[in-house]
Amino acid sequence: MFNRLIEKSRAKSPWIYHVNSGSCNGCDIELVALLGPRYDCERLGIKLAGSPRHADIVVVTGPITSQSKDRVLRVLSQVPEPKVVVSLGSCPMSCNVFKGSYSVEGPLDKWTHVDVSVGGCAPKPEAIIDGLIKAIEILKEKRGLNNV
């Protein structure tokens, strides 16, 4: 029963970790706007974690550059299961205008399973909120807490 309480509370406060893999900073600014007072996503329980080991949801921005590919994969492997990978903007989905570049290593789903993709360049903060709500639902499903 005590474990169930912990599981419930965990589902209500998914912490996110933000990985920038060579993004232009557009999506990063929109994500940071969520943590400020105006869009305040802490009312959904979402909080930015400082370490990937504390996170439940990983938010990836940017096309995966060759310099950042190994680091992104290392960060993703450090996140405890069950985790949800959210790709933000057009870049991780398809490399956007950088596709075909010698220093870009393909879209994100070439390397890992992406659960939720948020479109836009850059997406509006409201769209990111929608994506994170979807990610929370998927996280609950992965934890087996669908009826909570």
Partner 1 sequence: MSKFPFAGEALKSLFKAPLTEKYPLTPKESPEKYRGKIKFDANACIGCGLCIRVCSPNAITKLVDTVEEGQNITMKFDLGSCTFCGYCADFCHQNAIELTQEYSMVVTDKNDMIVSGSFIKKLPQKKPVPQKKATESK
Binding site for partner 1 (CB under 8 A): 37-40, 43-44, 90, 93-97, 99, 109, 114-121, 123-127, 129-131, 133-134, 138
Nearest to partner 1 of 3, 146 (CB atom): 146
Work out how close the CB of 104 gets to partner 1 at its nearest, in angstroms, rounded to a whole number: 12
> 26-35 and 125-143 helices cross at what angle (nearest 10)?
70
Among 78, 80, 91, which Cα is nearest to 22's?
91
Judged by beta carbon, residue 68 or residue 117, the one nearer partner 1 is: 117
Minimum gap (Å) between residue 2 Cβ and partner 1: 31
The whole-angstrom separation of Cα 145 and Cα 11 is 8
Residues in contact with 8: Cβ distance below 8 Å, sequence separation at least 6, in sequence order:
145, 148
Smallest distance from partner 1 to CB 117, Å = 5
Closest contact distance (angstroms) between CB of 123 and partner 1 is 7
Q: Which is nearer to partner 1, 7 or 44 (CB)?
A: 44
Closer residue to partner 1 in complex, CB, 17/39? 39
What residues have CB less than 8 Å from 26, skipping those under 6 apart? Answer: 89, 121, 122
Maximal C-alpha separation, the chain: 54
Looking at residue 62, what DSSP letter applies? Answer: S
